[in-house]
Chains A and B, each alone.
Chain A
């Protein structure tokens, strides 16, 4: 009996790297379509917000698995030693000064202003952002100037596979530095890319990661179903989950602003988001989100020296204005961050 088992165990080839990614992330529904695994090889494909692997791969090791921010133990759990907001050098309220951003950006327009400045000042040669793609599903986009940044401005709440564009940019024979704007999962993916021993291009060229606060994200198909049920005609120009107690999902389309009750949206939330404890993109250089109670302002968390440098240059160039954040608002942000960590931890217990 035991010999037989040993023999069958010996005969079974170890699972391929792709199979492990499928078994641990994609098949259980934990994939959040961040795009970290996309564009590295032809096996993983992205279509209408879904990541899939149509064919079997026969390699035992590979970056698709190594880089995935959703693989268990990849950092979505609580990290008490760093505090509930992760590494923090400074926290500001900020808004962009350029009038042209008005109405096209989220809150204070800080992300667009920072990305545009980084390109204009030559800190980076290219930025990877998220814009509307086919079927109303968002997709990654590579831009190299201010106009490109503005064209992609605004948050689109659906799985976008954005980091595929980053991987593709890194695969090209070029030396310029890259900036990426992403959700907490994508910031984690980007951090893993930069630190992977088999991905020297990422370590060398990934110059700036701007993270976005995120409570949860929607699947592209789920969002389409939500909109269809609410009678909102795509394409979505902007979308947002305003901080509590709003209790709504806001979408702006050509027809104007619509508010959809949160309970109508829950079914469309990516299951993988429920295991994520990172509200503020803790692995980014700069993290940007809403400033509670202050429409027209962003909260900016400075986490690294290079993040601080970009922010300082933006202020020096007159592109950004900074303000001291209200203490109560920061407390609420910490509460929200702690709440997301706790929910993720509970979710993991549930999963176990």
Chain B
């Protein structure tokens, strides 16, 4: 990321959606920004943190999304504009606060929540549509289509929040957050109030029912302000044969589909930037002008269902309509949309018989790629300490022989469910849930459950959501081994710092919170091992697994990518062709077939394992698994000296 506080107003720059959201916040005069990292949202806060000094704002990585929004709300109560950004899963974490905040209302400073959803689950464990939080909590919802619009919407959102004194939700998706296009920055806001909270002012949800009415009134007011805004628009004929109602990136896909099909005179496009509450007047007007409606939105039928509901109210005056979308199967109920998918939907509705490419070509391409392009499964990076940790876990659970389980959690190490982690992880859900599941498994002994349980958690997740689960297990004396996979970074989302690293979002030093001390303060036996040392790690894991009760083993080794940026790894790996047994190795090229590091491949022509010098980082772990001692870890510094 970069400091965007110094951009020249009026000069077009190529800006990522997330950067545009950050810029919009700065232009709106945000003072306080907090977030927990999570793709596709992470760059928003990082950009604000990098711009904090230049713009004179405060930006922090919080321990989780709920804390982030609560901290931001405090600033709002004291009169400062504030925001919290998160991915869709984070909205769930913050939801309890959101559903109460909406009743108490925000403060005199505008308060904005940005959720970055992930249709297609490009970097997520789900593709949840977080727009439903707007309906659930009666909050205004804005959906930008382009980075430029995202910038404008952020400014609008802060104004709107102050107008109605409630939280406003801006919903981006991966294809906006991670898209760059030309954005024209405006002026940064100048001046901000001195924050203060009148001690006579009580901000609360009580009495809840009358305040619930206040909340409804605020939403109605927001609806009016949004309808008057610039974010809903229509393009197309007055009485289109087909009306497409679209939001977010789907607006652009729909426009392109109309273009591809050449049906601009037949099809109209109603772009909705304000998707909750819906502009009923606008929708009634456009429904009246057409007989067929196609919805283009991601992921769930949020607009579709509400428009249908609105239509049901007004059917007598609107007449019979046909609706196309997720319910009719014209657009997919899961995953992303695309220009081609919408072109296919429009073609089907209008019976155009459109084909994007000659079917013969498509058939040949599909066949060729299917036959030759082997799947490219994601895996741990070369040198990743998690590969070594899971290797040791796999070995130890096998020799332990009691059908041990591994409860997974969220981070790079989630990939323990894949072959890169030897498929050793038995369950993964959301941040911290592995600990709760282990807590439950650890109490089943009285019913005859005798499988040992390992719960893995990353260092960042440890602080985000693991602590209540750990305390619960300690309190209720659940029986499991907690393994903290400490790679000293929030690696999956881009190496953000966390309490364990002690570094702040600004890059400056904060107070470090030591995982070991936390565990020991809970009265837990806590050991540390280095996963790169397979034998020592296996010993530590095995011994810990034989113990009873909650006990902790920290497998600590910095993320290989972080190491790569800070001096690299100590070895140059080499395979001794005299010693490598190739296909005849013990049981059939164990190193590449089982260990599966991208840096160690099998050369078919040579009939031996070889180090891919472009990929291998030189961590030295594979030298420990070769039964023939053929893989050599040569110390780089000694080589340099020689």
Give chain A's interface residues, CB within 8 Å of chain B: 18, 40-43, 45-48, 50-55, 57-59, 62, 134-135
- The answer to whether A58 touches B395, judged by C-beta atoms less than 8 angstroms apart, is no
- The answer to whether B395 touches A45, judged by C-beta atoms less than 8 angstroms apart, is yes
Specify which of A47, A59, A134 is in contact with B588 (CB 8 Å cutoff).
A59
- The answer to whether A43 touches B542, judged by C-beta atoms less than 8 angstroms apart, is no
Q: Is B261 an interface residue (CB 8 A)?
A: no
Q: Is the interface of B mostly helix, strand, loop or mixed?
A: helix
Q: Can you list 18 A-B contacts with CB-CB less than 8 angstroms, sorted by A residue number? A: A40-B586, A41-B585, A41-B586, A42-B586, A42-B625, A47-B396, A47-B538, A52-B398, A52-B401, A53-B398, A54-B394, A54-B399, A54-B422, A55-B422, A57-B587, A57-B588, A58-B593, A59-B587
Per the bound structure, the CA–CA distance linking A134 and B399 in Å amounts to 14
Chain A residues contacting B602 (CB-CB under 8 Å) are none
Can you list the 8 inter-chain pairs with the closest CB atoms, starting with the nearest?
A41-B586, A54-B398, A47-B399, A41-B587, A52-B398, A42-B627, A52-B399, A57-B587
Chain A residues contacting B588 (CB-CB under 8 Å) are 57-59
Q: Is B238 an interface residue (CB 8 A)?
A: no
Give chain B's interface residues, CB within 8 Å of chain A: 394-401, 422, 538-539, 542-543, 585-588, 590, 593-594, 625-627
Whole-angstrom distance between the Cβ of B625 and the nearest chain A Cβ = 7
B399, B400, B538 pick with most chain A CB within 10 angstroms: B399
Specify which of B401, B587, B593, B627 is in contact with A50 (CB 8 Å cutoff).
B401
Chain B residues contacting A51 (CB-CB under 8 Å) are 399
Chain B residues contacting A52 (CB-CB under 8 Å) are 395, 398-399, 401
Whole-angstrom distance between the Cβ of A83 and the nearest chain B Cβ = 38
Chain A residues contacting B539 (CB-CB under 8 Å) are 134
- The answer to whether B422 touches A47, judged by C-beta atoms less than 8 angstroms apart, is no
Chain A residue nearest to B393 in the complex (CB): A54
Chain A residues contacting B399 (CB-CB under 8 Å) are 45-48, 50-52, 54
A40, A55, A57, A135 pick with most chain B CB within 10 angstroms: A55
- The answer to whether B542 touches A47, judged by C-beta atoms less than 8 angstroms apart, is yes
Question: A48 with B587: in contact, given A42-B625, A53-B398, A54-B398 (CB under 8 Å)?
Answer: no
Whole-angstrom distance between the Cβ of A71 and the nearest chain B Cβ = 18
Chain B residue nearest to A26 in the complex (CB): B401
Per the bound structure, the CA–CA distance linking A318 and B403 in Å amounts to 54
Whole-angstrom distance between the Cβ of A91 and the nearest chain B Cβ = 40
B396, B422, B586, B587 pick with most chain A CB within 10 angstroms: B587
Chain A residues contacting B627 (CB-CB under 8 Å) are 41-42
Chain A residues contacting B397 (CB-CB under 8 Å) are 54
Chain A residues contacting B396 (CB-CB under 8 Å) are 47
Specify which of B542, B585, B594 is in contact with A55 (CB 8 Å cutoff).
B594
Whole-angstrom distance between the Cβ of A266 and the nearest chain B Cβ = 20
Question: A43 with B538: in contact, given A52-B398, A55-B394 (CB under 8 Å)?
Answer: no
Chain B residue nearest to A41 in the complex (CB): B586
Per the bound structure, the CA–CA distance linking A47 and B392 in Å amounts to 12
Chain A residue nearest to B625 in the complex (CB): A42
Specify which of B395, B542, B587, B593 is in contact with A54 (CB 8 Å cutoff).
B395
Q: Is the interface of A mostly helix, strand, loop or mixed?
A: loop
Whole-angstrom distance between the Cβ of B288 and the nearest chain A Cβ = 59
Chain A residue nearest to B395 in the complex (CB): A54
Chain A residues contacting B538 (CB-CB under 8 Å) are 47
Per the bound structure, the CA–CA distance linking A255 and B539 in Å amounts to 27
Per the bound structure, the CA–CA distance linking A67 and B586 in Å amounts to 15
Chain B residue nearest to A43 in the complex (CB): B587
Chain B residue nearest to A54 in the complex (CB): B398
Per the bound structure, the CA–CA distance linking A254 and B594 in Å amounts to 44
B394, B542, B586, B594 pick with most chain A CB within 10 angstroms: B586
Chain B residues contacting A55 (CB-CB under 8 Å) are 394, 422, 594
Whole-angstrom distance between the Cβ of A41 and the nearest chain B Cβ = 3
Chain B residues contacting A135 (CB-CB under 8 Å) are 543
Chain A residues contacting B625 (CB-CB under 8 Å) are 42
Per the bound structure, the CA–CA distance linking A348 and B375 in Å amounts to 48
Per the bound structure, the CA–CA distance linking A185 and B543 in Å amounts to 29
Whole-angstrom distance between the Cβ of B127 and the nearest chain A Cβ = 33
Whole-angstrom distance between the Cβ of A40 and the nearest chain B Cβ = 6
Specify which of A48, A57, A59 is in contact with B542 (CB 8 Å cutoff).
A48
Specify which of B395, B401, B543, B590 is in contact with A41 (CB 8 Å cutoff).
B590
Per the bound structure, the CA–CA distance linking A108 and B480 in Å amounts to 48
Per the bound structure, the CA–CA distance linking A48 and B394 in Å amounts to 15
New A-B pairs, 20, CB < 8 Å, besides A42-B585, A47-B395 = A41-B587, A41-B590, A42-B586, A42-B625, A42-B626, A43-B586, A43-B587, A45-B395, A45-B398, A45-B399, A46-B399, A47-B396, A47-B399, A48-B542, A50-B400, A50-B401, A51-B399, A53-B398, A55-B422, A59-B588
Per the bound structure, the CA–CA distance linking A42 and B626 in Å amounts to 8
Chain A residues contacting B593 (CB-CB under 8 Å) are 58
Whole-angstrom distance between the Cβ of B405 and the nearest chain A Cβ = 15
Chain A residue nearest to B626 in the complex (CB): A42
Chain B residues contacting A40 (CB-CB under 8 Å) are 586
Per the bound structure, the CA–CA distance linking A48 and B593 in Å amounts to 26
Per the bound structure, the CA–CA distance linking A135 and B399 in Å amounts to 14
Whole-angstrom distance between the Cβ of B454 and the nearest chain A Cβ = 14
Per the bound structure, the CA–CA distance linking A134 and B586 in Å amounts to 25
Per the bound structure, the CA–CA distance linking A42 and B592 in Å amounts to 13
Chain B residue nearest to A55 in the complex (CB): B594
Per the bound structure, the CA–CA distance linking A46 and B394 in Å amounts to 13
Chain A residues contacting B398 (CB-CB under 8 Å) are 45, 52-54
Chain A residue nearest to B590 in the complex (CB): A42
Chain A residues contacting B400 (CB-CB under 8 Å) are 50
Chain A residues contacting B590 (CB-CB under 8 Å) are 41-43
Whole-angstrom distance between the Cβ of B616 and the nearest chain A Cβ = 20
Per the bound structure, the CA–CA distance linking A40 and B594 in Å amounts to 17
Whole-angstrom distance between the Cβ of B397 and the nearest chain A Cβ = 8
Chain A residues contacting B401 (CB-CB under 8 Å) are 50, 52
Per the bound structure, the CA–CA distance linking A350 and B136 in Å amounts to 64
Chain B residues contacting A48 (CB-CB under 8 Å) are 399, 542
Per the bound structure, the CA–CA distance linking A29 and B588 in Å amounts to 26
Chain A residues contacting B594 (CB-CB under 8 Å) are 42, 55
Chain B residues contacting A53 (CB-CB under 8 Å) are 398
Whole-angstrom distance between the Cβ of B278 and the nearest chain A Cβ = 54
Per the bound structure, the CA–CA distance linking A55 and B587 in Å amounts to 11
Per the bound structure, the CA–CA distance linking A293 and B47 in Å amounts to 86
Per the bound structure, the CA–CA distance linking A45 and B400 in Å amounts to 11
Per the bound structure, the CA–CA distance linking A147 and B401 in Å amounts to 36
Per the bound structure, the CA–CA distance linking A135 and B396 in Å amounts to 15
- The answer to whether A62 touches B587, judged by C-beta atoms less than 8 angstroms apart, is yes
Per the bound structure, the CA–CA distance linking A346 and B335 in Å amounts to 62
Per the bound structure, the CA–CA distance linking A217 and B625 in Å amounts to 31
Per the bound structure, the CA–CA distance linking A95 and B400 in Å amounts to 41
Chain B residues contacting A41 (CB-CB under 8 Å) are 585-587, 590, 627
Whole-angstrom distance between the Cβ of A332 and the nearest chain B Cβ = 37
Chain A residues contacting B587 (CB-CB under 8 Å) are 18, 41-43, 57, 59, 62
B398, B542, B625 pick with most chain A CB within 10 angstroms: B398
Chain B residues contacting A59 (CB-CB under 8 Å) are 587-588
Per the bound structure, the CA–CA distance linking A54 and B538 in Å amounts to 13
Per the bound structure, the CA–CA distance linking A54 and B585 in Å amounts to 17
Chain B residue nearest to A16 in the complex (CB): B587
Per the bound structure, the CA–CA distance linking A40 and B401 in Å amounts to 21
